[in-house]
């Protein structure tokens, strides 16, 4: 009896459930580079190169370790370009009794596998890289009309005994975010993450991507990502040694020409399997226990992985496919062209878009409070925003991208994921960055042609959606301020917004 194990491009770990079931002497492992996965949205060139290169390194490792593998390259003449048709083709060419696959991370791919027209059994195994199974999340979310990450996170901390002192959170508090709002403008000499020179496996991948996907967004060179587990572990260990201690303090800070700040830059590797969430959390906790790391950094970092990452995955699987259609504010505007060209006078947007094109990376606050905030305040259609985020970031997979975009930045689910919209005027961006210092607009001005557009768009957004947001307790203060504004002031806000928005069409 031989099984064909389909290994997807984001399952690159020998501990993945499908490989744990592999019988080395009989089973065949199939990995394929298919054009459909590169073009259903036109992914950033660096992302395609990362995944193909990591796949090619991983198959070499499997071969060295005695696994039987079939690797279909993008330009192999027989390659049919689709996962499902490749599965059928390879099954027919070999003597296969069943197909085994760890559950794909994206709904779209799962549906493709479920509708496979093949007369042998297809077994789909749980993806147990995560802390919470679908069943556990569903059980937790049951009967709740609105979910809160903080409650889920506390449950995960207690259950998995992460940063816990018996039944109490380490240090006495669950959350140290109040210490994590540091003014960043004096920061210098921030250590860069480890970078790698392309090797003999990566180089042909870069040529392939350059030739085949030249019209995709993003700079391919320089390509310095880790492409093996060993390298990804180096990135993680280096982060723990050189940057984790300041992660908490500066996690919301943004500085021009400093793409990484004190962030870990491991999402690429976590999402494709080169790193496992549990090993990351164990390492962070052990660095904290050794006394090298302050609690606000250790807790803040662990919350991102044990809290947010698990929470958004739970929401995704619980609510697909409906979640992808949410549009609470009925936002219809098209994404402005400058999201591709970066040609805009708003320096914060210009910087974040440029950086995303260059690195296929932006850190959380850039994605949330600059780019996301702008798309929320200007009413861009969720489909357009989701597509942009899926294309632009090398860590973008729908299970994590969609809830962050539709739920967190656009509030398109009406407050199911987040308790209030993450909206802000220019003062927040000015407080957390140095972007405003070299901007065409004046962050201090509230109205008129030179005023920072975030200032009036923020109030215009709240005014426009008063019916939908006015009863939200977390917005009580801002709505009270809005209510005290004179009719003339509101008229000016509306006029400035109308003028600005008309330039986006
Ligand atoms: C609009 C928007 C879109 C996003 N799209 C993606 C995406 O497609 N893929 C992705 O992995 N992350 C996404 N995120 C979450 C987050 O911005 C990135 O995980 C993070 O910036 C990656 O950089 P890092 O590894 O340096 O993270 P760090 O800041 O060092 O955080 C450590 C890890 O925590 C996890 N994490 C942190 N925040 C989140 C979050 N909100 N949701 C899930 N995991 C989180 C990531 O795995 C990350 O590697 C998005 C956030 C926003 C606001
Ligand atoms: S002034 Fe406004 S638009 Fe310019 S960088 Fe600051 S926040 Fe962005």
pLDDT value at residue 184? 67
Which of 454, 458, 500 to probe ligand 2 with, by most ligand atoms within 8 A of CB?
A: 454
pLDDT value at residue 189? 87
Residue positions counted in the chain: 505
From first to last of the 505 residues of the chain, give the pLDDT tens digit.
799 999 999 999 999 999 999 999 999 999 999 999 999 999 999 999 999 999 999 999 999 999 999 999 999 999 999 999 999 999 999 989 999 999 999 999 999 999 998 999 999 999 999 999 999 999 999 988 889 999 999 999 999 999 999 999 999 999 998 777 776 677 888 999 999 999 999 999 999 999 999 999 999 999 999 999 999 999 999 999 999 999 999 999 999 999 999 999 999 999 999 999 999 999 999 999 999 899 999 999 999 999 999 999 999 999 999 999 999 999 999 999 999 999 999 999 999 999 999 999 999 999 999 999 999 999 999 999 999 999 999 999 999 999 999 999 999 999 999 999 999 999 999 999 999 999 999 999 999 999 999 999 999 999 999 999 999 999 999 999 999 999 999 999 999 999 999 999 7
- CA distance to 232, 240, 395, per residue, from 194 (Å): 9, 12, 17
* CA atoms of 210 and 221, how far apart (whole Å): 10
* CA atoms of 89 and 83, how far apart (whole Å): 10
Where along the chain do its domains lie? 3-125, 134-193+243-318, 338-502
- Kindly state if the Cβ of 434 falls inside 6 Å of ligand 2: no
**Distance from Cα 310 to the centre of ligand 2, integer Å:** 33
pLDDT value at residue 108? 97
* CA atoms of 115 and 84, how far apart (whole Å): 9
* CA atoms of 57 and 9, how far apart (whole Å): 11
Q: Specify which residues 9 forms β-bridges with.
A: none
CA dihedral 260→263→265→269, nearest 10 degrees, is: -170
Residue identifier of the C-alpha nearest atom 53 of ligand 1: 368
Ligand that comes closest to the CA of residue 412: 1
Q: Specify which residues 127 forms β-bridges with.
A: none
Residue identifier of the C-alpha nearest atom 26 of ligand 1: 265
- Kindly state if the Cβ of 346 falls inside 6 Å of ligand 2: yes
- Kindly state if the Cβ of 439 falls inside 6 Å of ligand 2: yes
Look at domain 338-502 and name its CATH class. Answer: mainly alpha
Ligand that comes closest to the CA of residue 267: 1
End-to-end CA distance of the chain: give it in Å, rounded: 60
- Kindly state if the Cβ of 309 falls inside 6 Å of ligand 1: yes
Residue identifier of the C-alpha nearest atom 17 of ligand 1: 364
**Distance from Cα 423 to the centre of ligand 1, integer Å:** 18
- Kindly state if the Cβ of 308 falls inside 6 Å of ligand 1: yes
* CA atoms of 505 and 493, how far apart (whole Å): 19
Which of 395, 397, 399, 417 to probe ligand 1 with, by most ligand atoms within 8 A of CB?
A: 395
Q: Do domains 3-125 and 338-502 have the same CATH topology?
A: no
- Kindly state if the Cβ of 454 falls inside 6 Å of ligand 2: yes
Q: Specify which residues 100 forms β-bridges with.
A: 5, 123
- 3-state SS class at 68: strand
- Kindly state if the Cβ of 10 falls inside 6 Å of ligand 1: no
Which of 260, 307, 364 to probe ligand 1 with, by most ligand atoms within 8 A of CB?
A: 364
Ligand that comes closest to the CA of residue 445: 2
Give φ, ψ of 310 to 5 degrees. Answer: -70, -40
Look at residues 321, 318, 327, 320 and name the one whose alpha carbon lies nearest to residue 143: 318
- 3-state SS class at 120: coil
Strands (E), 26-127: 28-32, 68-72, 98-102, 121-125
CA 396 to ligand 1: nearest atom: 8
- Kindly state if the Cβ of 71 falls inside 6 Å of ligand 1: no
Helices (H) and strands (E) in the chain, counts: 25, 7
pLDDT value at residue 143? 87
Q: What number of other Cβ atoms are within 10 A of residue 452's Cβ? A: 25
CA 439 to ligand 2: nearest atom: 4
Which of 404, 405, 410, 411 to probe ligand 1 with, by most ligand atoms within 8 A of CB?
A: 404
Residue identifier of the C-alpha nearest atom 49 of ligand 1: 267
- Kindly state if the Cβ of 452 falls inside 6 Å of ligand 2: yes
CA 422 to ligand 1: nearest atom: 53
Exposed (0-12), middle (13-18) or buried (19+): which is 112, by Cβ within 10 Å?
middle
- What is the pTM for the complete model shown? 0.97
Look at domain 3-125 and name its CATH class. Answer: alpha beta
Peptide bond into 438 cis (omega under 30): no
456, 500 Cβ separation under 8 angstroms: yes
368, 263 Cβ separation under 8 angstroms: no
Peptide bond into 321 cis (omega under 30): yes
* CA atoms of 274 and 12, how far apart (whole Å): 6
- CA distance to 131, 299, 334, per residue, from 306 (Å): 7, 10, 35
CA 393 to ligand 1: nearest atom: 8
Q: Which residues contact 462 (CB under 8 A, 6 or more apart)?
A: 423, 469, 475, 478, 479, 482
pLDDT value at residue 185? 77
457, 378 Cβ separation under 8 angstroms: yes
CA 264 to ligand 1: nearest atom: 30
For strand 164-165 and strand 168-169, is the pairing parallel, antiparallel, or unpaired? antiparallel
- Kindly state if the Cβ of 395 falls inside 6 Å of ligand 1: yes
DSSP secondary structure string, 202-230?
A: HHHHHHHHHHHSTTSSS---S-----SHH
- What is the CATH code for 134-193+243-318? 1.25.40.80
Strand order in the sheet with 98-102: 68-72, 28-32, 3-6, 98-102, 121-125
**Distance from Cα 267 to the centre of ligand 1, integer Å:** 6
């Amino acid at each position: 009896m031989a099984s064909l194990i389909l290994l997807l491009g984001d399952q690159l770990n020998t501990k993945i459930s499908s490989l744990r079931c592999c019988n080395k002497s009989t089973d065949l492992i199939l990995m394929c580079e298919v054009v459909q996965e590169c073009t259903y949205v036109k992914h950033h060139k660096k992302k395609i190169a990362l995944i193909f290169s990591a796949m090619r390194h991983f198959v070499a490792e499997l071969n060295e370790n005695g696994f039987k593998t079939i690797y279909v390259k993008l330009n192999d003449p027989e390659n049919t370009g689709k996962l499902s048709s490749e599965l059928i083709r390879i099954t027919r060419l070999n003597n296969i009794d069943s197909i085994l696959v760890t559950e794909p991370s994206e709904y779209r791919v799962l549906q493709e596998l479920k509708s496979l027209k093949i007369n042998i059994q297809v077994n789909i195994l749980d993806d147990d890289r995560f802390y919470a199974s679908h069943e556990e999340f569903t059980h937790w979310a049951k009967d709740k009309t609105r979910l809160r990450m903080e409650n889920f996170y506390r449950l995960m901390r207690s259950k998995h005994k992460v940063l816990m002192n018996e039944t109490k959170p380490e240090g006495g508090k669950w959350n140290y975010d109040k210490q994590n709002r540091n003014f960043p403008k004096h920061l210098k000499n921030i250590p860069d993450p480890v970078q790698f020179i392309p090797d003999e496996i990566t180089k042909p991948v870069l040529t392939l991507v350059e030739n085949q996907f030249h019209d995709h967004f993003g700079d391919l060179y320089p390509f310095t990502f880790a492409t093996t587990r060993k390298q990804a572990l180096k990135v993680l260990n280096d982060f723990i040694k050189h940057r984790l201690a300041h992660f908490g303090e500066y996690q919301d800070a943004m500085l021009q020409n400093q793409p990484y700040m004190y962030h870990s830059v491991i999402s690429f590797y976590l999402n494709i399997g080169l790193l496992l969430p549990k090993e990351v959390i164990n390492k962070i906790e052990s660095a904290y226990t050794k006394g090298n790391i302050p609690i606000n950094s250790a807790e803040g970092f662990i919350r991102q992985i044990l809290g947010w990452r698990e929470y958004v995955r739970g929401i995704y699987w619980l609510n697909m496919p409906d979640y992808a259609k949410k549009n609470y504010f009925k936002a219809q505007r098209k994404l402005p062209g400058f999201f591709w060209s970066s040609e805009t006078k708003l320096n914060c947007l210009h910087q974040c878009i440029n950086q995303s094109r260059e690195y296929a990376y932006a850190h959380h606050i850039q994605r949330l409070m600059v780019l996301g905030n702008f798309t929320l305040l200007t009413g861009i259609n969720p489909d357009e925003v989701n597509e942009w985020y899926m294309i632009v970031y090398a860590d973008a997979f729908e299970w994590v991208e969609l809830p962050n975009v539709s739920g967190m930045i656009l509030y398109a689910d009406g407050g199911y994921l987040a308790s209030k919209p993450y909206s802000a005027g220019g003062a927040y961006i000015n407080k957390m960055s140095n972007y405003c210092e070299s901007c065409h607009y004046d962050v201090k001005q509230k109205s008129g042609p030179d005023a920072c557009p975030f200032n009036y768009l923020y109030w215009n957004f709240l005014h426009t959606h008063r019916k939908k947001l006015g009863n939200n307790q977390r917005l009580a203060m801002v709505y009270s301020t809005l209510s005290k504004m004179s009719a003339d002031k509101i008229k000016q806000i509306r006029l400035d917004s109308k003028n600005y928005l008309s330039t986006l069409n």
